[in-house]
Chains A and B, each alone.
Chain A
Amino acid sequence: MSDTPAQNVAFVRTSEIPPSPPPTRETGAIKWIRENLFSGWFNTILTLIALYLVISIVSGAAPWFYNGVWEADSIRECRDILAGKTGACFAVLVDRWDHLVFGFKYPQDAYWRPLVAFLLLLVAAAPALFGKIFPRKMLILTAIYPFLAYWLIWGGTLWLPVLVAGSIVATGLVFRLVEGMAVNMRQILAGVVGLLFGLGLAWLLFKGAAELVFIASNIGGSGLSVIPYAVFWAAGIFTYVCVIPMGIFVGYAIYQSAEDGGLVTIVTALFAIYIMLAYLLGPVSGAFNSIIPLELQAVPSRDMGGFMLCMILGTVCVTLSVPLGIVLALGRQSHMPLIKGVCVVFIEFVRGVPLITLLFVANVMLAYFLPPETSFDLILRVIIMITMFSSAYIAEVIRGGLAALPKGQYEAANSLGLNYVQATRLIILPQALKISIPGIVNVAVGLFKDTTLVSVISMFDIVGMIRGPIQQSTDWISIYWEVYGFAALLFFVVCYSISQYSQWLERQLQTDHR
C-alpha cells in the first residue's frame, strides 16, 4: 500500500479550508444574550422577572426625578408648581442645604472651615491608606492633621493644638533623653521620680480608700444596699492597708529600674506630659496668643450638626478606638487572668448590648457617675461611648489578626531575647495589624453608619435634622422621600468608597502572601 502513488489520491488537499464563520446564533451579542440571559427555562424566567422589576422601577422613578421642583419656599408651593403631577420637591434640599450639611447653629461665615478640614482629611488619610503609593515621609501630614482639624472645626486659638502637639513631641524627647542618660545620673533621677510617684500614688490610694469608706457608710441612704456594703468596707480597709506599702513598693521599683532604665523612662515621660498639659498648656497658649494672635471664632461642640456631625463622630471615634482596641486585644491575649478577665468582660459586654443603650447611658446615666459639678457636653459623652463601643469590635478584629500569626513568630521573638514590649512592638503588632486592616475598615464603615443613632438622643445629625427641625417646620412638614434619599445618598457615597478601598486592600494583601 505504501507504494500507492500519491497523485492517485485525488481528494487530499494541499491547503487548509479557511474556517467558516460560526452560526449567527453563536456569535456576538446574540450569543452573549443567549448564554447570559436565556440559557434554559429557569434563567429565562429570572431574566424576565428582573427586566420587569428594572423597567417598573425606572418608569416609576423617572417622572419623579424628571418633574422635580428645585425652587420653592415650602412644600405647599411645591405642590402648587407640580399641580398634581408626580414629582419630587428637591427644593427642600436647596432651602435647607446648610442645615443638612452643617446643622443649624454652626456659624455661616465659618462653613469653609469644616470643608477645608474635610479636604485635608483626604490629603492626610491618603499616605496612611495607600502606603505604597505615597512616600513614607508624608505620614507626618497624617500626624499633624488631628491638631489642625481640631483647630479648624472648633476654632479658638491655634496655639492650643500646636502646644499639645509640642507637648507630645517633648514627651518623646524626654523619653529618649532619660533612655540615653548615664546610669548614675539616672539613679538620681529615679530616686526623685520614685519618691514623687510613690507619694502621689499613696495619696491617690488614700483618697480612694476614703471614698470607699464614704460609699460604705452612705450606701443605705441611696438605696444601693443591693450590693452588700460590707464589700465596700472591706475594699476600703484593704486599700487603707495598701496605701503605704504600695507607695513604697512602686517608688522602690522605679528606683530599682534606674540601672536598665525601663520603668523610670516611662514614668518620667508620663510625669513630663502631665505637667505640661495640666499646668503649662493653658497659660503658655494664652501668652503666645496675646503676642501673636492666631485665632478663629470658637464654636462650641453643641453647635455641630448635620452630616458634618456624623463625619466628626466617625473619624474621631475610629481614630481613638484603634489604639484602645489594640490594648484590649493584647489584654485579652494576656496570660494574666485578672487583666484578661477585665478585657474579656469589657469586650463581651460592649458587644452584647446595642449602641443605642450605650447612647442612653451617655445621655442620662453618665452624669451620675462623674463628680458633681463636672459637666461634659453631650458630644463628648457620646464620643466616649461610641469609642468604647467601636474599640471592642476593633479589639476582636485585631485579636483575629493576632491569632492568625504563626506561633513561630512569638517564639522567634522570645528566642531573640526581646521582652514583651519589644516583641509586641517590633514583631507581633506590625504583622497582626497588617492582616487586620480590612477588618478595621469594615468596623469603621459600620461605625460611621451607626453615628446616625445619635439622632435618637436629640442630637441634630443629618437624620436628627430631618426628623426634627425640617419635618417639624411649618414649611416642610411631612416631607420624607427627598430628604431621606439625600441622606442615604451621602452615606452611600462615603461608605461605598471606603468599602471599595477595603476590597482593594484585601487584594493587595493577598498578592503579598502568595
Chain B
Amino acid sequence: MTTLADRPVTASTGSFKLSMLLNDSRYRSLTFQFIALIAIIAFMAFVGGNLVRNLTAAGLNISYAFLGEPSGYDINQRLIDYDSQSSHGRAAVVGLLNTLLVAFLACITATIFGVVAGVLRLSNNWIVSKIMAVYVEIFRNVPVLIWILIIFSIMINVAPSPRDFRGDDATASMMFFDTIAVTNRGVYLPKPIWGDGSMIVVAVLLASIVGIFAYRRYSRKQLFDHGKMVPVLWPSIALFFVPVILVQLILGNPITLSYPELKGFNFRGGITILGSLIALWFALAIYTGAFIAENVRAGILAISKGQTEAAGALGLRPNQIMSLVVLPQALRVIIPPLISQYLNITKNSSLAIAVGYMDVTGTLGGITLLQTGRAIETILLLMLFYLTVSLLISFFMNIFNNRMKLQER
C-alpha cells in the first residue's frame, strides 16, 4: 500500500520507533497481516452476528440431530441396505456412494471416449478426423446440463417401456438371446448366481489377472533387454478368458446367470442399471470426453515429430508408434489436465438432480433438506463432502503424476 520501500532502512540503531512498523520492510509485512487479521475477525463478527441474530429471530437453531432420525423416504438405487426407516445420515451415505459410483463410471468412460477421439482426430483418415472434430466442438460448446436433459429425454422417449415387451403383439424384444432388456426405466442385465465352487472360478480369474501382469512384465523385459517384441494383446486376452472358461466347464458351471424376466410391472431377476444413472453417466462421459480428447490431442502434438519419424525409421508400424513411443511420452502432458477433468466430472455429477438420480445432492441436499428444513446444516455437509472428495482426488492423482514424472531421465 505504501510507497516507502525505496527508502533506506534506518533501523540499524536498534531503537524501535512506531513508524518502523510501516517503514521498515522487516516489520511492514507483519503490520499488514495484523491489519488483515483484524479485518477477518471483523468480517467473521459481522457474518456470525447476523447468523445468530437471524436464527434467534426465526427461533431456529443449528443442530445435526436430524441425521439420526428416520428419513421416511425411499431411494431407488441403494448400494448399501436402506429403507424408509433408516436414518437421514444413512440416506446421505447412500447418496454419497451413488455419487462416487456415477463419477467413477463416467471417469473411466470419458477417458476411453477422450483417448479414442483425441487419437482419431489426428488420424490421416479425413472423414474420421472430421467427425471427431465435429464431436469435440459440439459437445464442448453446449452446457452439460442441456446434454444431460437431452440424453435423458432420449432415454425416456425413444427406448421402449416395459409394457411394450408384454403380450403377443409386443413391439419390443430383449437383446442378445433374451439376456438383456433395454427399457426406458433402465437396462436389465443378467445377474451371476454364485453356486458351489464358484470361489474356485473367481480364484482362477484373479490368478489369471496376476498372470497377465507377470506376462506383461516379462514381455517388457524381453523388449528392453533383448530387443524382442513379444505380442502382448492377444495372449493377455487369452490368459484372461481361457482358464476361467475351462474351470467353469470342468466344474460343471458353478456360476450361473439369472436372466431378467418381465414379471408384474417390471423386469426382475437381473442387475438393473437405472435410466437416470445411464443418462447421467453417458452425458458426463461424452461431454467430458470431448475435453479429454482435446487434452490428448494437445499432448500428442506436443511430442516432437522427430520421435514419430525416428520410430518409423526403426520400422515400427503406426499403431506401435502410437502405443510404444508417442502415448507414453504424451501421457506426462495429458495427465495434469486429465486430473482436473476428473474433478469436473465429480462436481458435475451433482447435476443428477436434473434427472432424478439420487446422488448426495439428491438425498442430503435434496429430500433431506426439504423434509427437515435444515438448509444450513445440509448444505455445509454437502460442501464438506465435495471438498473432501476433490482434495482426495487431487491428492492421489498428484502422487500418480509425480510417479510418472520420476521416470523422466
On whether A and B touch (CB less than 8 Å), the answer reads: yes
CB distance from B2 to the nearest CB of A (A): 4
Complex interface residues of chain B between 132 and 149 (CB less than 8 A to chain A): 137-138, 140-147, 149
B interface SS class: helix
Measured CB to CB, the nearest residue on chain A to B62 is A223
Contacts of B40 in A (CB 8 A): 342
List A residues at the B interface (Cβ < 8 Å). Answer: 35-37, 39, 43, 46-47, 50-51, 53-54, 204-205, 208-209, 211-212, 214-215, 218-219, 221-224, 226, 232, 235-236, 238-239, 242, 246, 249-250, 252-253, 256-257, 260-263, 266, 335-339, 342, 348-349, 351-357, 360-361, 364-365, 367-372, 417, 419-422, 445, 449-450, 452-453, 455-456, 463, 467, 480-481, 484-485, 487-488, 491-492, 495-496, 499
Contact sample, A vs B, 23 pairs, CB 8 Å cutoff: A51-B127, A214-B52, A218-B56, A224-B51, A224-B52, A224-B62, A235-B45, A236-B45, A239-B45, A249-B21, A256-B19, A261-B3, A348-B391, A353-B386, A360-B379, A371-B50, A419-B3, A449-B141, A449-B144, A452-B145, A481-B150, A487-B146, A496-B137
Beta-carbon nearest neighbor of A226 in chain B: B62
Among the 9-residue stretches B217-225, B300-308, B348-356, the one with 4 or more Cβ atoms under 8 Å from chain A is B348-356
CA gap between A351 and B147 in the complex, in Å: 23
Please give, as numbers and ranges, the residues of chain A lying within 8 Å of B45 by CB-CB distance: 208-209, 211-212, 215, 235-236, 239
Residues of A within 8 A of B365 (CB): 357, 360
Give CA–CA (A35, B127) in the complex, Å: 12
Taking a contact as CB atoms under 8 Å apart, the answer to whether A50 and B127 are in contact is yes
A330 to chain B, nearest CB (A): 13
How many Å from the CB of B103 to the closest CB on chain A?
A: 11
Residue of A nearest to B30 (CB): A336
B70-78, B118-126, B208-216, B401-409: which one contacts chain A?
Answer: B118-126
Distance of B148 from chain A, by nearest CB (Å): 10
Whole-angstrom CA separation of A285 from B142 in the bound complex: 42
Tell me the B12-49 residues at the A interface (CB within 8 Å). Answer: 18-19, 21-23, 29, 32-33, 35-38, 40-42, 44-49
Q: Are B46 and A208 in contact (CB under 8 A)?
A: yes
- The listed residue (B54, B123, B125, B144) touching A372 by CB distance below 8 A is B54
Of the candidates B61, B138, B147, B386, which one forms a contact with A357 in the assembled complex, judged by CB atoms under 8 Å apart? B386
Is B1 an interface position by the 8 A CB rule?
Answer: yes
B399 an interface residue at 8 Å Cβ cutoff? no
B390 at the A interface (CB under 8 A): yes
Shortest distance in angstroms between A10's beta carbon and chain B's nearest beta carbon?
Answer: 44
B22 touches A256 (CB 8 A): yes
Q: Mark B106-130, 1 if CB is under 8 A from A, else 0.
A: 0000000000000010011111100
Q: In the complex the two chains form, is A46's CB within 8 Å of B375's CB?
A: no
Once the chains bind, are B143 and A369 in contact (CB under 8 Å)? no
> A205–B38 Cα gap in the complex (Å)?
8
Q: Would you call B60 an interface residue if the criterion is a C-beta within 8 Å of the partner chain's C-beta atoms?
A: yes
- Knowing A257-B4, A349-B387, the reply to whether A54 touches B347 (Cβ < 8 A) is no
Q: How far is the CA of A417 from the CA of B7 in the complex (A)?
A: 10
Known: A36-B126, A352-B386, A354-B348. A54 touches B131 (CB 8 A): yes
B363 within 8 A of A: no
Is the pair A204, B42 in contact by a Cβ cutoff of 8 Å?
Answer: yes
Decide if B142 touches A491 in the complex (CB within 8 Å): yes
Q: Is B398 an interface residue when CB atoms closer than 8 A count as contact?
A: no
Give the docked Cα–Cα distance between A365 and B381 (Å): 13
CB of B55 within 8 Å of the partner chain: yes
- Contact present for A356 and B351 (CB under 8 Å): yes
Please tell me if the beta carbons of B347 and A368 are within 8 angstroms of each other in the complex: no
Q: Shortest 4 CB-CB distances between A and B: which pairs?
A: A223-B61, A262-B3, A495-B141, A352-B390
A492 in contact with B379 (CB, 8 Å) = no
Task: Give per-residue flags for B79-101: 1 if the beta carbon is below 8 A from chain A beta carbons, else 0.
Answer: 00000000000000000000000
A256 proximity list for chain B (CB < 8 A): 19, 22-23
Residues on the A chain within 8 Å of B18, using CB: 249, 252
Q: CB < 8 Å: which of A50, A353, A365, A487 contacts B128?
A: A50
- On whether A211 and B347 interact (CB within 8 A), knowing A43-B125, A357-B379, the answer reads no
The answer to whether B127 and A354 touch across the interface, beta carbons within 8 angstroms, is: no
A357 touching B50 by the CB < 8 A rule? no
Beta-carbon contact of B383 and A47 below 8 Å? no
User: Other than the known A43-B123, A452-B143, A491-B141, what 6 A-B pairs have Cβ atoms closer than 8 Å?
Assistant: A260-B3, A336-B32, A338-B33, A353-B386, A354-B347, A496-B141
A353 and B390 within 8 A (CB) = yes
Residues of B within 8 A of A445 (CB): 141
Asked if B37 and A338 sit within 8 Å, CB to CB, the answer is: yes
The interface residues of chain B lying within 8 Å CB-to-CB of A238 are 41
Contact B361 A357 (CB under 8 A): yes
In the bound assembly, the distance between CA atoms of A396 and B54 in angstroms comes to: 35
Do A47 and B128 touch across chains, with their CB atoms under 8 A apart? yes
> Complex: how many Å from CA A505 to CA B387?
34
Q: Which chain B residue shows the least CB distance to A257?
A: B2
A262–B7 CA distance with the chains assembled, in angstroms:
13
Q: How far is the CB of A418 from chain B (nearest CB, A)?
A: 8
- A252, A369, A422, A449: which contacts B50 (Cβ < 8 A)? A369
Does B153 sit at the interface, judged by CB under 8 A?
A: yes
Which residue of the partner chain B has the closest CB to A266? Answer: B1
For B348, the closest partner residue in chain A by CB is A354
Taking the complex as formed, is B169 at the interface, i.e. its CB lies under 8 A from any CB of chain A?
no
**B residues near A369, Cβ cutoff 8 Å:** 47, 50-51, 54
- Cβ–Cβ < 8 Å partners of A43 in chain B: 123-125, 128
A198 to chain B, nearest CB (A): 13
Q: How far is the CA of A445 from the CA of B291 in the complex (A)?
A: 13
CB neighbours (8 Å) of B140 from chain A are 495, 499
- Complex formed: what's the CA distance from A372 to B29 in Å? 37
B10 interface contact, C-beta 8 A: no
B376 at the interface (CB under 8 A from A): yes
- Please tell me which one of the listed residues A215, A250, A335, A352 contacts residue B48 in the complex, with CB atoms under 8 A apart: A215
Contact at B153–A218, with CB atoms within 8 Å? no
**Structural contact, B1 and A262, CB atoms closer than 8 A:** yes
List A contacts of B390 (CB < 8 A). Answer: 351-353
A223 to chain B, nearest CB (A): 3
Cβ contact within 8 Å between B49 and A215: yes
Nearest CB of B to A3, in Å: 47
Indicate if the CB atoms of B3 and A357 lie closer than 8 Å: no
Residues of A within 8 A of B51 (CB): 222, 224, 368-369
Q: How far is the CB of B135 from chain A (nearest CB, A)?
A: 10
Residues of B within 8 A of A46 (CB): 120, 123, 125, 128
Q: Does B157 reach chain A (CB closer than 8 Å)?
A: yes
A421 B376 Cβ-Cβ under 8 A: no
Bound form: Cα–Cα A303–B376 in Å: 28
| Chain B CB within 10 A, most for which of A53, A342, A452 | A452
Q: Smallest Cβ distance from B143 to chain A, in angstroms? A: 4
Question: Which residue of A235, A246, A360, A495 contacts B142 across the interface (Cβ within 8 Å)?
Answer: A495
Selected contact of A205 from candidates B37, B42, B47, CB within 8 Å: B42
Q: A239 to B145, Cβ gap below 8 A?
A: no
A147 to B317, CA, bound (A): 62
B168 in the interface (beta carbon within 8 A): no
Q: Kindly state whether residue B170 has any CB partner on chain A within 8 Å.
A: no
Q: Taking A50-B131, A484-B150 as contacts, is the C-beta distance between A353 and B383 under 8 angstroms? A: yes
Query: Are A449 and B127 neighbours in the complex by a CB distance under 8 Å?
Result: no
Q: A51-B127, A499-B141 are in contact. Are A365 and B48 (CB under 8 A)?
A: no
Residue in A353, A365, A467 whose beta carbon sits within 8 Å of that of B376 in the complex = A365
Using known A-B contacts A224-B62, A352-B387, determine if residue A488 contacts B146 with beta carbons closer than 8 Å: yes
A445 to B353, CA, bound (A): 23
Residue B262 is within 8 A (CB to CB) of chain A in the complex = no
Q: Is the CB of A372 within 8 A of B387?
A: no
Tell yes or no: B371 within 8 A of A by CB: no
